[in-house]
Amino acid sequence: MNKKKQGHIGKRIKTLRIEKGLTQEELGVMLGFDKGTVSKMERGENAPTAKTLLSLKKLFGVSTDWILTGEGFKHPLEIDTADEYGQGLLEMLNDIKSNKTALIKVLSFFFEYKAKNLSTFFKKKDRKISGPV
């Protein structure tokens, strides 16, 4: 991996660390490194290993693609497959690669699911929507 790419990865790691309110020393302890190793990784002098990337993914709840490239979703979509809507959504997402109509179904399903949950939330809590909706 070239130094320029390592530097960008390091900047993203530093951003994640700061967003989480951690010092280099605290992150180092979590990863099993010393502060200097974290500093070198953030400056792009050392590239994270595959094991470190997986640890960062779990620790910060981000995708490894985002750490490596800065592209795609920073926080991947989490689907609760124990829920009937989650199961349906997962099945439809698997169809999207080959079927554009499936994408439309997924989006419709997603908005229906969100609307149902918001409706249930306001009914259960006896809350009212205020402000622009």
CA angle 105, 106, 112 (to 5 degrees): 90
How far CA 94 is from CA of 86, 87, 97, 106, in Å, comes to 12, 11, 7, 10
From the CB of residue 4, how many other CB atoms can be counted at a distance below 10 Å? Answer: 9
Q: What percent of the chain has pLDDT over 90?
A: 37
Looking at residues 75-93, what average pLDDT do you find?
65
Is the pLDDT score of 4 beyond 70? no
Tens-digit pLDDT profile for residues 39-77? 999 999 999 999 999 999 989 888 888 899 887 667 665
Task: Give dist(CA 59, CA 55) in Å, integer.
Answer: 6
Classify residue 50 as exposed, middle or buried by CB count within 10 Å of its CB (0-12, 13-18, 19+).
exposed
Is the pLDDT score of 132 beyond 50? no
The predicted model scores a pTM of 0.55
Tokens 């790419």 belong to residue? 5
